[in-house]
Amino acid sequence: MPHTDLPELPESSPSLQHSADRADSSGLQQALKLHFGFDAFRPGQEAVVRDALAGRDLLAIMPTGGGKSLCFQLPALLRPGVMIVVSPLIALMQDQVRLLTDNGIAATYLNSSLDGRTAFERTSAVLRGEFKLLYLAPERLMTADYLDGFLPQLIARQGISAFTVDEAHCVSEWGHDFRPEYRQMGQLRLRFPEIPVFAFTATATGRVRDDIAAQLRLHEPALHVASFNRPNLFYAVKPKSSKTYGELLDLARGGNGDGQDAGIVYCLSRRRVDELAAKLAEDGVRALPYHAGLDAETRRNNQDAFIRDDAQVIVATIAFGMGINKPDVRWVVHYELPKTMEGYYQEAGRAGRDGEPARCTLYFGVGDIRTAEFLIAQKIDPATGDALEQEQRIARQQLRKVLDYAESSACRREIQLGYFGEAFFGPCGACDNCTDPKPVEDWTLEAQQFLSCVARLAQRGQRFGAAYLIEILRGAESQKLIDRGHQQLSVYGIGKARTQDEWRVLVRALLHQGLLEETNDGYPVLRLTESSRALLKAERRLLIAVPPKRERVNGRGGRARKPGAAASEGTPLEVELFERLRALRKQLADEQKLPPYVVFADAALRAMAARRPTNRAEFAEIPGVGSHKLERYSAAFTQEIRAFRAQHE
């Protein structure tokens, strides 16, 4: 457990209060295979399931793709009564209910998308005990109708096994998706003290976690904090250049040119999203845009097309987020610099939720920094026109963290996890800096030049920002500079050998390493620190990961791991069979109006392609094939595999 900032909460411990819950490991594993088709729990899942079965309050924090849903769904099936699951979005409810139903599990939802009659019938069916899980929006759950009518009736007739609060960070104002209705759910604990409350979230910050426990009034909850490391994700940062679009196109077209692997491209502005989506479409990629400026119907259609694999790529602003449960996103590209590390982690984390290899690439150009700084400077109070200084300061701090990440030559995982307070020590073997270390150069001389320039001006009682100092060093001939007499400085023009961008990299490195300070009072100007003097006296050196020159861009990109390796891994025959099974999956999904991943995950298809089961018994052994999927899909898939074998063997 990397996070220790919740001292008042006891560690989780399996409790054996309920005799019915004393399922041994093999019993739980059988249930896992029977209902979900999985052979083993993911790390951390079993402990959560056990605490849930014991009827304790729970606070479980797992990264996206960690497999949270199963941690309450399996207990819902094994405990008496109906589980109420609170979910913030209709799309999320529908997605989970579809997945459960396709596994033969009795689950349903009640929300505003239903007409009155359907809702009434469903309510009666729930009361008759026809469902084990009922998904609800918080605003519905907290109405008097529910609190005084439906819930007590349900308790009397079937019992309620637990209230599960999914995406529980919505309860916190400190989180990024605050929903006031979530706040009211603290009442559940007061009204129904005997029913356990299970809170689940992928949020990474301690403050939000504290808030969840307090707001939901969790009673001595079992706390489970999984590692936030996502070992199946490959992280890379690449310089932005004129080749960037070409690289994106290569990624979208996939390693073998079949362009099947789903991907998300994040941009900052709506205009950028529209442009890029149109350009990709022109180049033959099935790409669609998604941002808050599109009307609701277009957004829904584009999202559905992506989920059903009709569109391969979504180009989006960060408006595209929480509702997306697609587990087989194979790559995420940040085409522009994200605003915060937390945001980056969550957005990149939408890749590879199914645990299969996936790639996260951040493109980083100096121009992005200027855009980001410009946007931060725009944060002004609309009433007074004054700068929102506190907000600007926070935004600058966050931007600096993102820049630290982007420009570092250290293991990307180490930086990300370190940011969330988790100790991880690289090399991780799955980031660009670990697999393709950047050469480091000694820039002490340049650093001294820059710092003495700051010192000279300070002697004259003058302070400036980085841009102007770089002009002096590069010997610019601007009028401002001449008027101020700065052409006379001994440092004037001594830095011509370096480009403006290289100087900027240097300045950021000096700032990151505490060798220079930036004042936050209005316009940021630079000043020396204690450590600057050590560098000026050559007691300290400055090493910099060499900023990639444009020529170098391609060579480095070329050495990167093949994108989309996940889906198309294996021998050529396996790849061919995989593609056939993928087409069959799509066809079966379309017939049932389901997203393909509901039928089978990529991992299941890959296991089929490798093992080539031709009968029911062999098919049952495939991971992801539970009892229900065996009935439903065994015939079609084994037939396809037999046909394939007949052709090739």
Applying CB under 5 A, the residues found at the interface with Zn ion are: 411, 413, 426, 428, 431, 434
State the nearest-atom distance from the C-beta of 45 to ligand ADP, in Å.
6
Out of 44, 65, 289, 563, the residue judged to bind ligand ADP by CB under 6 A: 65
By a kind-dependent CB cut-off of 5 to 8 A, residue 204 interacts, out of Zn ion, ligand ADP, none, with: none
State the nearest-atom distance from the C-beta of 627 to ligand ADP, in Å.
16
Contact 3, 419 (CB under 8 A): no
Out of 167, 309, 354, 602, the residue judged to bind ligand ADP by CB under 6 A: 354
What helix, strand, coil percent values describe the chain, rounded to 5? Answer: 50, 10, 40
By a kind-dependent CB cut-off of 5 to 8 A, residue 64 interacts, out of ligand ADP, Zn ion, none, with: ligand ADP
State the nearest-atom distance from the C-beta of 139 to ligand ADP, in Å.
22
Out of 33, 38, 254, 604, the residue judged to bind ligand ADP by CB under 6 A: 38
Residue numbers 596-625 binding ligand ADP by CB under 6 A:
601
Out of 44, 327, 338, 564, the residue judged to bind ligand ADP by CB under 6 A: 327
According to DSSP, the residues that pair with 225 across neighbouring strands are 61
By a kind-dependent CB cut-off of 5 to 8 A, residue 601 interacts, out of ligand ADP, Zn ion, none, with: ligand ADP
Contact 566, 354 (CB under 8 A): no
Q: Could you give the string, one character per residue 572-601, with x where binding to ligand ADP holds by CB under 6 A and - elsewhere? A: -----------------------------x
State the nearest-atom distance from the C-beta of 96 to ligand ADP, in Å.
8
- Asked whether position 504 contacts ligand ADP by CB under 6 A, the answer is no
Q: In sequence order, what DSSP letters do the residues of 5-70 get, joined into one string?
A: --TTSPBP------GGG---HHHHHHHHHHHH--SSPPTTHHHHHHHHHTT--EEEE--TTS-HHH
List Cα–Cα distances, 598 to 20, 71, 102, 516, in angstroms: 31, 18, 7, 54
What's the rounded Cα separation, in Å, for the pair 136 and 149? 15
Measured from the CB atom, the residue of 45 and 448 that comes closer to ligand ADP is: 45
- Indicate the pairing of strand 233-239 with strand 358-364: parallel
The stretch among 47-55, 63-71, 373-381, 539-547 that binds ligand ADP (CB under 6 A) is 63-71
- Asked whether position 352 contacts ligand ADP by CB under 6 A, the answer is no
How many chain residues are in contact with ligand ADP, going by CB under 6 A? 18
Out of 44, 55, 67, 338, the residue judged to bind ligand ADP by CB under 6 A: 67
Upper half-sphere CA count for residue 389 (Cβ side, 13 Å): 7
What's the rounded Cα separation, in Å, for the pair 200 and 304? 25
Q: How far does CA 376 lie from the centroid of its chain?
A: 23
What's the rounded Cα separation, in Å, for the pair 175 and 318? 15
By a kind-dependent CB cut-off of 5 to 8 A, residue 411 interacts, out of ligand ADP, Zn ion, none, with: Zn ion
Q: Which amino acid is at 341?
A: M
343: Cβ contacts below 8 Å, ≥ 6 apart: 176, 318
Q: What are phi and psi of 12, to 5 degrees?
A: -75, 145
For 280-317, letters b (16+ CB in 10 Å) and e give: bbeeebbbbbbbeebeeeebeebbeebbbbebbbbbbb
Measured from the CB atom, the residue of 411 and 506 that comes closer to Zn ion is: 411
Out of 62, 97, 415, 454, the residue judged to bind ligand ADP by CB under 6 A: 62
By a kind-dependent CB cut-off of 5 to 8 A, residue 38 interacts, out of ligand ADP, Zn ion, none, with: ligand ADP
Q: What is the dihedral of CA 197, 201, 205, 210, to 10 degrees?
A: -10
By a kind-dependent CB cut-off of 5 to 8 A, residue 215 interacts, out of Zn ion, ligand ADP, none, with: none
Contact footprint for ligand ADP (CB under 6 A): 38, 41-42, 45, 62, 64-70, 325, 327, 353-355, 601
